[in-house]
Structures are given as structure tokens and as C-alpha cells.
Amino acid sequence: MYFYSSVSRIAVATAILLFATACTSDHVLNDNFPNGPVWVKKVEPAPEPAPEPLPEPEPEPSLAELNEKAVSAFEDQGFDAEITDKGVVVYLPPTIYFEGSKSDINLEARLKIGEIAQEVNKDYLRDREIEVSGHTDSVGDEAINLALSKKRAEAAASELVFSKVALTRMITRWYGESSPRLPELNADGTINKQNRSLNRRVEFVVLNPQ
């Protein structure tokens, strides 16, 4: 009788020990119950959500890409524009070039200069300086042509400032007849009147950053 009683106690103790061992792995002892502590199953906290990866920053456009964008924008507005070593050169439409020996800016030219101002004030060009250069044809005295080209550059630059391009961005230069855009003489020595009229011009250069 005593033997069986001892065996029973050992079995009960072993069972309790095994249960306790099992409980301690995935259970915890909760002593908040009125009838005594009770083993309850552990409640694991929900895992923290993985942070969403930050988007890769877009690469800054290159100078070549910005210049190509500018040329495309000016051409869409009816300007002749090209990329040079200095930057983006913009020409007024031929129909509003200067008359011989004059520097007046007519209404049509004023409106087109206003369009140039709007483009160069956009974010992608806002930090670039603008060179306004005056030119003449080869007719007349060289010194007079140089002075005339200065007046043309200053008149066009004033229109840009009037259209809210910052004066601190402006650079004016004048070249007289020394930098023709097109040859004024044909191969046979006759005068090319159209080319001569196109040389009476102002060029707007969106200068490359230094």
C-alpha cells in the first residue's frame, strides 16, 4: 500500500514538474486571479512593421539636359535657339529684327522678349546669367556700328528687366559688325539682303554656369 502511494506521489510530482516545465516555455504565471495564480499562455507582442524604404532621390539633370530642355522650350515658342560653348543662344524671329541704323524695340519684339523673360525666370534657368549682345550689319562706319550695337543691346536688356528678369543677372555686350551671323555677300559678290538684315540683331544667351 505504501509502495503504491509513494509511486502515485512520484507520478503526480513528475506530472506537475513536466507541466510546470512546459508552462514556463510558452506560458506565464498570472497571479491576478482570486483563487490563486494560474498559468496562462504567453501573448507575444505583434512584430513592429518594417519601415517602408525611402524613395531613391531623382538624379539632378545634367547641364546638357537643361540646355536641351531650354532649346526645346524656346523653339516651341517660335524662336530660333541653339546650344553653343557659352550656353543657349536665342534669336528673335527674323520678322522683328532691327531696321538699318535703328535700335528701336517695336511692340512685336517687346512681346517676344517678354516670352524669353518668362522662360529664363523658370526654376531650371533662374540661377543662370543672361547675356544680351548687340550686332549690326557691315554697312557704314565701324565706330558708328559699334555704338549702334551698344544701343540695341541696352534696349533689349531694358525690356528683359521690365519683364521682371533681375538686373543682377544681366550682362550686356556689343560687337558692332565684327560678329556677323551670316555672310552678307553671295558667292558671286552680290549683296545678300536677307542675310544682311539678319545680322542686325540682338542675341540672348543663357550662359552656362561658371
Query: Do 99 and 199 sit in the same domain of this protein?
Result: yes
Query: Do 131 and 33 sit in the same domain of this protein?
Result: no
Query: Do 75 and 162 sit in the same domain of this protein?
Result: yes
Task: Give per-residue burial for 13-45: e unless 16+ CB within 10 Å, then b.
Answer: eeeeeeeeeebeeeeeeeeeeeeeeeeeeeeee
Is 89 part of any domain? yes
Angle CA(149)–CA(151)–CA(152) in degrees, nearest 5?
A: 65
Domain that holds residue 35: 2-41
* pLDDT for 20: 54
More confident: 73 or 46: 73
- Region 127-148: mean pLDDT is 94
Query: Do 178 and 84 sit in the same domain of this protein?
Result: yes
Query: Do 16 and 68 sit in the same domain of this protein?
Result: no
Query: Do 187 and 108 sit in the same domain of this protein?
Result: yes
How do residues 2-12 score in pLDDT, each as one tens digit?
Answer: 444 554 555 55
* pLDDT for 10: 52
Q: What does the mean pLDDT of the chain come to?
A: 84
Is 71 part of any domain? yes
Query: Do 114 and 201 sit in the same domain of this protein?
Result: yes
Query: Do 7 and 79 sit in the same domain of this protein?
Result: no
CATH code of 120's domain: 3.30.1330.60
Transcribe 98-113 into DSSP letters. PPTT-----HHHHHHH
pLDDT tier for residue 19 given thresholds of 50, 70 and 90: low
| Cβ-contact 37, 23 below 8 angstroms | no
How do residues 153-189 score in pLDDT, each as one tens digit?
Answer: 999 999 999 999 999 999 999 999 999 999 999 999 9
Is 53 part of any domain? no
Is 156 part of any domain? yes
Query: Do 14 and 88 sit in the same domain of this protein?
Result: no
Query: Do 144 and 71 sit in the same domain of this protein?
Result: yes
* pLDDT for 47: 80
Is 196 part of any domain? yes
Structural domain count of the chain: 2
